[in-house]
Amino acid sequence: MNKLFTLSLGVLVTLFSLTGCTRSVTRVSPDQQIDLSGRWNDTDSKLVAEEMTSDVLRRPWRDDFANAMDRKPVVIVGMVQNKTSEHIESETFIKDMEREFINSGMVRVVENSVFREKLREERAEQGEFASPETQARWGRELGADFMMFGVMTSTTDSYKKEKVVNYKVNLELVNIETNEKVWIGDKEIKKYIKN
């Protein structure tokens, strides 16, 4: 009797696991907006990067610099600090900002300090191992005129099964030579989540 019960229980568990835990995966367009959790996601990052880049490029600092120097300004997108309660990979947002800057054609973009160091290591190795006619030369780096940096914050208000999360991204653009702030921008995204 005990063996029959154990066998029956095993069959039921197997049947339940086969019928109750099916998973479906569907390919969707990367442009499709899907928000499952209500947390910051790729759509938020792209929307904020597009809007803030559009705003910074419309402001007078760019034309003022181009008229004074007779060239496009060179920008480095520095650190964007995540001060939200969520794990947000700020590197994704930084890359979205760099993409928008480059694709605008209005400014030039250089790598941040971490990647510059890797490029310098590669240049040093080329000096030792690459043929002289293909070596990258030293002293040819493009210096940045402006650095963008900022912070991401969020506030949450919740009651019972409802929650509102307000994300705010504050960015500043600073002239590296003079330390003058030439642009300050912010963008908010508010999400209402109901369980």
What's the pLDDT at 44?
A: 86
Domain assignment present for 133: yes
What's the pLDDT at 167?
A: 92
Domain assignment present for 2: no
Give CA torsion, residues 149, 107, 45, 85, to 10 deg.
Answer: 0
Enter the pTM of the model. 0.77
What's the pLDDT at 90?
A: 83
Low-confidence stretches of the chain (pLDDT beneath 70) = 1-21, 35-36
Domain count across the chain: 1
Give CA torsion, residues 22, 27, 28, 30, to 10 deg.
Answer: 120
Domain assignment present for 24: no
**Residue from 40, 30, 33 nearest 188 by CA:** 40
Q: How far apart are the first and last CA of the chain?
A: 45
Residue-range definition of the domain harbouring residue 43 = 37-194
Q: Are 152 and 88 in contact (CB under 8 A)?
A: yes
pLDDT tens column, 19-67: 566 777 777 777 777 766 778 888 888 899 899 999 999 999 999 999 9
Domain assignment present for 67: yes
What's the pLDDT at 125?
A: 86
What's the pLDDT at 20?
A: 60
What's the pLDDT at 17?
A: 61
Domain assignment present for 86: yes
- CB neighbour class for 23 (10 Å; exposed up to 12, middle 13-18, buried from 19): exposed
**DSSP codes joined into one string, 37-100:** SSS--HHHHHHHHHHHHHHHHHSHHHHHHHHHHSS--EEEEEEEEE-SSS---HHHHHHHHHHH
**Residue from 79, 99, 47 nearest 152 by CA:** 79
Element (H, E) at 138: none
**Residue from 115, 116, 112, 114 nearest 78 by CA:** 112
**Residue from 158, 184, 147 nearest 169 by CA:** 184
What's the pLDDT at 4?
A: 62
CATH number of the domain bearing residue 168: 3.40.50
What's the pLDDT at 113?
A: 77
What's the pLDDT at 101?
A: 94
Domain assignment present for 44: yes
144: CB partners within 8 A, 6+ apart: 74, 75, 76, 110, 176
- Other C-beta atoms lying within 10 Å of the C-beta of residue 170: 18
Q: How far apart are CA 72 and CA 57, in angstroms?
A: 12
Domain assignment present for 98: yes
Domain assignment present for 8: no
